[in-house]
């Protein structure tokens, strides 16, 4: 997830840096003093959460939680992530200083996308419309990710490494199971509409991040299919886990402290 120094070509590094700088500048313009504590705390959350490797087998799979960051922070996810990624690079050698821009864009841009896609659903007054759109989005996302997984599954078989095939199919099956389970929970109203939007947002953000990492690797000369298959498949379990975590968090927030989400500009 964190791309390391030396893996990307210079144009990609410069482009990523420029986009990240633009994003940070834009969000700093929107930033109000009373937003800062929230930004700081969520920055610290990201810093810690991506350090602690959950014993999830896929040891690269630490939590990212950029969906949650996006939903709560919106555009201000950019400065939060820059600070956290910078400190991770300096303290632990995660990523690196030259790839800071690319990593920031890869994580923060999906967060902002999720903000625009999902925050509407979380705060929507018209519950029925929010439900309808959530159903549609779920169907599209589910089919898209399963299609991506299956087409990558073929790519693995061509490569002929059997253990990878088994890992891939298991993670894909688990992902599908968790997604369906989340949908059932939502249908049975254990998960509120806002919670389900959080579920979608948490999963979507990781999917976008994986795709963006794959693209930035592909632009640097790695053949896209190979890079994408590594990165996207490795992120399937985390897509499931983050969906559940974000759903639980958003559901709790909307019940206990709804102003945390409504305060976002």
Partner 1 sequence: MLFGKLKFATLLFVSSLVLGFYSNAWAHKVISAAYPDGDLIEGEIGFSNGDMAKNLLVEVFDSEDNKLGETTTDEEGFFVFTATKKVDHIFRANLSAGHVATLTVTADELPDDLEGGSVASTPSSQEAVSSEEGVVTQSNLSDTKLVMIDQAGLEKLVSKTSKEVRSLRKELAQYKEERRMQDILGGIGYILGIFGIASFLLGRFKTTKGV
* Interface positions with partner 1 (CB under 8 A): 1-8, 31-33, 36-37, 39-40, 43-44, 47-48, 51, 53-60, 62, 83-84, 87-88, 91-94, 164, 167, 170-171, 174, 177-178, 181, 184-185, 188, 190, 213, 217, 222, 226-227, 230-231, 234, 237, 240-241, 244
3-state secondary structure at position 138: helix
Query: Which secondary-structure segment (H or E) carries 126?
Result: none
**In the bound complex, what is the minimum distance in angstroms from residue 125's beta carbon to partner 1?**
27
Nearer to partner 1, 3 or 113 (CB): 3
The CA-based diameter of the chain, rounded to the nearest angstrom, is 55
Q: 257: alpha, beta or left, given left = phi > 0 and alpha = psi -120 to 50?
A: beta
Nearer to partner 1, 90 or 129 (CB): 90
**In the bound complex, what is the minimum distance in angstroms from residue 126's beta carbon to partner 1?**
26
Nearer to partner 1, 84 or 204 (CB): 84
Q: How far is it, in rounded angstroms, from Cα 78 to Cα 80?
A: 5
For residue 71, give Cα distances in angstroms to 13, 39, 55, 99, 163. 27, 12, 26, 25, 37
**In the bound complex, what is the minimum distance in angstroms from residue 164's beta carbon to partner 1?**
8
Enter the tokens of residue 256. Answer: 């206990």
Nearer to partner 1, 83 or 117 (CB): 83
């Amino acid at each position: 997830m964190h791309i390391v120094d030396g893996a990307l070509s210079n144009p990609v590094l410069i482009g990523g840096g420029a986009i990240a700088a633009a994003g940070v500048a834009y969000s700093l313009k929107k930033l109000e003093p009373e937003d800062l504590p929230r930004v700081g705390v969520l920055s610290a959350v990201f810093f810690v959460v991506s350090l602690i490797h959950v014993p999830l087998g896929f040891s690269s799979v630490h939590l990212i939680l950029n969906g949650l960051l996006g939903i709560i922070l919106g555009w201000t996810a950019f400065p939060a992530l820059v600070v956290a990624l910078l400190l991770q690079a300096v303290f632990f050698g995660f990523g690196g200083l030259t790839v800071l821009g690319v990593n920031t864009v890869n994580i923060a841009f999906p967060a902002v996308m999720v903000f625009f896609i999902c925050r509407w659903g979380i705060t929507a007054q018209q519950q029925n419309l929010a439900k309808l759109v959530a159903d549609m989005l779920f169907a599209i996302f589910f089919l898209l990710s399963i299609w991506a997984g299956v087409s990558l599954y073929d790519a693995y078989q061509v490569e002929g490494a059997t253990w990878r095939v088994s890992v891939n199919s298991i993670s894909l099956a688990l992902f599908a199971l968790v997604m369906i389970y989340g949908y059932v929970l939502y249908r049975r109203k254990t998960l509120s509409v806002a919670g389900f939007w959080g579920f979608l947002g948490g999963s979507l953000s990781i999917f976008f991040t994986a795709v963006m990492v794959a693209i930035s690797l592909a632009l640097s000369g790695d053949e896209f299919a190979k890079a994408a298959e590594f990165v996207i498949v490795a992120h399937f379990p985390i897509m499931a886990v983050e969906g559940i975590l974000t759903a639980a968090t958003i559901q709790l927030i909307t019940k206990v402290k709804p102003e945390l989400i409504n305060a976002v500009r």
